[in-house]
């Protein structure tokens, strides 16, 4: 019997992918990058453990599509990070994978040339190189883990990981998170429910065994010890925001009921700003004032930011792309970002050390 009659009936091709080991050999770790990753993870764990009173802010483009503009942004962010480091820890948002509701560009790894040619090996190498360059600036990075194989290629260069609203319910992503080396933020689902994210934090904290690949690209049974640094990310949902004091209080109660640390990150974008990027500043300001007024559960914030405000469709002629402007969700511009971050720093400076008392 010929297996072609029953196997891979909807598969057009099986192209070989370089192994994680091969991609890492092309873009090997540098001492500076390792130092940045280790320090970034240690700092974030200390914040979650309440040993460091600062807030962390995951800030950057909705997605990376242009490495040159991305590094331009990173250099600006590094300078700002140094300026506010006494109060805020800035982590650059470096998203390469984009979950799509229906169709659309799937990101820098999947389609690096932005022309539906899907040179995934090229995208993976370029993504690793970009992460290396950012870490060598001394700026830690955060990303969304979407493809369960990608962390084998890139995970050693990441300081913070998000699991998105559409994947917090996924057993695959909970298992993967249990083995990640970073703190992991689980977003509430798109309907606004907290249950999936809370259950995901619990699940990821436990050991798991599941199928994956090792560094040589061979199928492997991955056995994890569990990730103790899962936490909740509020991004709004179901047509309403959830960063207000009542929503934060309800989230605190849900975490306490599950016997989990009351660690909450507020995503200032998505439903919390009704997909209107300019409202992110108001969300951040509101959360900052909650901290000033005594809130102890808000440990971090997320902001979608780029060099140029708004977003743009991907043109057929890529030379017509606007430099530094998002091709996915709309962002605030760099000037607004500086204002938001500096205002938060000014309001919180001198307040945060009291949170450790």
CB 324 within 8 A of CB 73: yes
Q: In Å, how far are 120, 258, 301, 335 from 244, measured between CA atoms?
A: 41, 21, 14, 26
Regions in the chain scoring below 70 on pLDDT: 1, 99-103, 357
Domains of the chain as residue ranges with CATH: 16-336+348-356 (3.20.20.70)
The pLDDT assigned to 356 comes to 78
CB 323 within 8 A of CB 307: yes
What is the length of the chain? 357
**CA-CA-CA-CA torsion sign (315, 69, 127, 121):** positive
Its pTM stands at 0.96
CB 180 within 8 A of CB 151: yes
The pLDDT assigned to 102 comes to 54
- Tens digits of per-residue pLDDT, 53-86? 999 999 999 999 999 999 999 999 999 999 999 9
Q: In Å, how far are 93, 112, 194 from 151, measured between CA atoms?
A: 16, 18, 26
Q: Which parts of 96-186 fold into alpha helices (H)?
A: 120-136, 150-154, 171-179
CB 288 within 8 A of CB 268: no
The pLDDT assigned to 5 comes to 81
- Tens digits of per-residue pLDDT, 233-270? 999 999 999 999 999 999 999 999 999 999 999 999 99
The pLDDT assigned to 357 comes to 60
- Tens digits of per-residue pLDDT, 100-133? 555 678 899 999 999 999 999 999 999 999 999 9
Cα dihedral 24→27→28→33 (10° resolution): -120
The pLDDT assigned to 3 comes to 76
Cα dihedral 152→154→156→157 (10° resolution): -170
For residue 223, list its beta bridge partners.
209
Tokens of 255: 């975490």
- The residue ranges of DSSP E strands in the chain, in sequence order, are 55-60, 88-93, 141-144, 160-163, 184-187, 209-213, 219-223, 230-234, 264-267, 298-304
Q: In Å, how far are 90, 215, 287 from 23, measured between CA atoms?
A: 28, 10, 41
């Amino acid at each position: 019997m010929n297996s072609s009659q029953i196997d891979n009936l909807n598969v057009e091709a099986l192209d070989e992918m370089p192994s994680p080991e091969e991609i890492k050999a092309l873009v090997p770790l540098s001492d500076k990058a390792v130092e940045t990753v280790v320090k970034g993870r240690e700092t974030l764990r200390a914040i979650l453990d309440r040993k460091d009173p600062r807030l962390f802010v995951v800030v950057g483009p909705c997605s990376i599509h242009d490495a040159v503009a991305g590094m331009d942004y990173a250099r600006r962010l590094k300078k700002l990070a140094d300026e506010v480091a006494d109060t805020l820890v800035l982590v650059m948002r470096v998203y390469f994978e984009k979950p799509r509701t229906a169709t659309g560009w799937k990101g820098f790894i999947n389609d690096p040339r932005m022309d539906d040619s899907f040179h995934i090996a090229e995208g993976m190498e370029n993504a690793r190189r970009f992460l290396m360059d950012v870490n060598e600036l001394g700026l830690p990075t955060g990303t969304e883990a979407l493809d369960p194989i990608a962390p084998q290629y890139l995970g050693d260069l990441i300081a913070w990981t998000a699991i998105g609203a559409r994947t917090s319910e996924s057993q695959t992503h909970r298992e993967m998170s249990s083995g990640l080396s970073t703190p992991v933020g689980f977003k509430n689902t798109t309907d606004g429910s907290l249950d999936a994210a809370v259950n995901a934090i619990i699940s990821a904290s436990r050991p798991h065994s599941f199928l994956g690949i090792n560094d040589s690209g061979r199928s492997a049974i991955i056995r994890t010890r569990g990730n103790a640094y899962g936490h909740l990310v509020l991004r709004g949902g179901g047509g309403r925001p959830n960063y207000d004091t009542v929503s934060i209080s309800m989230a605190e109660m849900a975490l306490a009921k599950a016997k989990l640390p009351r660690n909450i990150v507020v995503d200032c974008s998505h439903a919390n700003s009704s997909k209107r990027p300019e409202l992110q500043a108001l969300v951040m300001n509101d959360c900052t004032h909650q901290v000033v007024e005594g809130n102890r559960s808000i440990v971090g914030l997320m902001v979608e930011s780029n060099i140029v405000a708004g977003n743009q469709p991907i043109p057929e002629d890529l030379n017509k792309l606007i430099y530094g402007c998002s091709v996915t969700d709309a962002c605030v511009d760099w000037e607004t970002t500086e204002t938001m971050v500096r205002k938060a720093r000014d309001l919180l400076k001198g307040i945060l050390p009291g949170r450790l008392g």
